[in-house]
């Protein structure tokens, strides 16, 4: 059974005064989360923090297996979704929402739950792979064959997402289960990282850095050196 280590941070970036991202880093519980708020200050940061606080407060039953753990996480996120929908109606303020990327590790398996365009990547045997699929307008165009991957980053609606916690009463969460191997390195991040840092540069940082902390700091520096235009959140998880 792999030994798990992790390191995480969230940073406002260089152009925004408010950080609307929030993170969870609970290696003892095998739970890591990145949430990226949407809707501006008083909306986005409220939504992302509502998600992370609720997940941090989860009561995990001892010996709960991975499928049960994932159900518990999903139920918690749906409860937050209901709360955010009601709050936005009460305030008549438009959507109060956030994206979500969550990683749950249980022994030699992990579960991934996501909604929106926060991502989970894995480095295994030198191969860097995105494990999540963005719920975004441009990704739908790519799937339909109406847009190339190269054109997506410069599309005027590149930041438009099609799903988020708090966006509707009918929250659709995607999830998958993967095998965890010794030597795997996982990265959870908000779009503030991958929109400023290329996949090849992220891959190089993931490969060349020896520890979670070194990887975390290297990735943050890459984002800031590239302009730090958005809030930046990242979590690095190692299976040793």
Query: Between 138 and 107, where is the model more confident?
Result: 107
Percent of the chain at pLDDT > 70 equals: 90
Whether 226 shows a pLDDT value over 90: the answer reads yes
Domains of the chain: 4-239 (3.60.40.10)
Average pLDDT of the segment spanning 3-19? 96
Average pLDDT of the segment spanning 74-91? 95
Whether 145 shows a pLDDT value over 70: the answer reads no
Average pLDDT of the segment spanning 10-31? 96
Return the DSSP state at 57. Answer: T
pLDDT tens for each residue of 169-195: 999 999 999 999 999 999 999 999 999
Contact partners, residue 127, CB within 8 Å, separation at least 6: none
Among the listed residues 105, 114, 139, 126, the one whose alpha carbon sits nearest the alpha carbon of residue 189: 114
- pTM equals 0.94
Per-residue confidence (pLDDT) for residue 64, from 0 to 100: 79
Q: Output phi, psi for 120, to 5 deg.
A: -125, 130
Per-residue confidence (pLDDT) for residue 146, from 0 to 100: 63
Per-residue confidence (pLDDT) for residue 19, from 0 to 100: 96
Whether 142 shows a pLDDT value over 80: the answer reads no
Contact partners, residue 177, CB within 8 Å, separation at least 6: 66, 67, 70, 109, 110, 111, 112
Among the listed residues 172, 150, 151, the one whose alpha carbon sits nearest the alpha carbon of residue 161: 172
């Amino acid at each position: 059974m792999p030994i798990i280590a992790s390191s995480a941070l969230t940073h406002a970036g260089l152009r925004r005064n408010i950080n609307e991202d929030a993170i969870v880093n609970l290696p003892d519980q095998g739970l890591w989360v990145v949430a990226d708020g949407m809707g501006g200050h008083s909306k986005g940061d409220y939504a992302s923090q509502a998600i992370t606080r609720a997940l941090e407060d989860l009561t995990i039953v001892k010996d709960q297996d991975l499928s049960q753990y994932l159900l518990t996480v999903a139920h918690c996120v749906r409860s937050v979704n209901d709360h955010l929908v009601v709050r936005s109606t009460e305030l008549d303020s438009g959507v109060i929402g956030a994206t979500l990327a969550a990683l749950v590790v249980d022994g030699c398996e992990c579960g991934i739950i996501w909604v929106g365009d926060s991502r989970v990547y894995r480095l295994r045997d030198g191969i860097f792979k995105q494990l999540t699929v963005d719920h975004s307008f441009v990704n739908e165009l790519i799937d339909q064959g109406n847009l190339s991957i190269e054109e997506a980053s410069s599309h005027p609606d590149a930041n438009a997402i099609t799903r988020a916690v708090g966006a509707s009463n009918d929250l659709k969460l995607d999830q998958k289960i993967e095998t965890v191997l010794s030597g795997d390195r996982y990265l959870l991040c908000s779009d503030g990282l991958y929109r400023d840092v290329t996949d090849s540069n992220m891959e190089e940082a993931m490969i060349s850095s020896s520890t979670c902390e070194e990887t975390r700091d290297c990735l943050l520096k890459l984002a800031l050196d590239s302009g730090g235009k958005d809030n930046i959140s990242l979590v690095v998880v190692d299976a040793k």
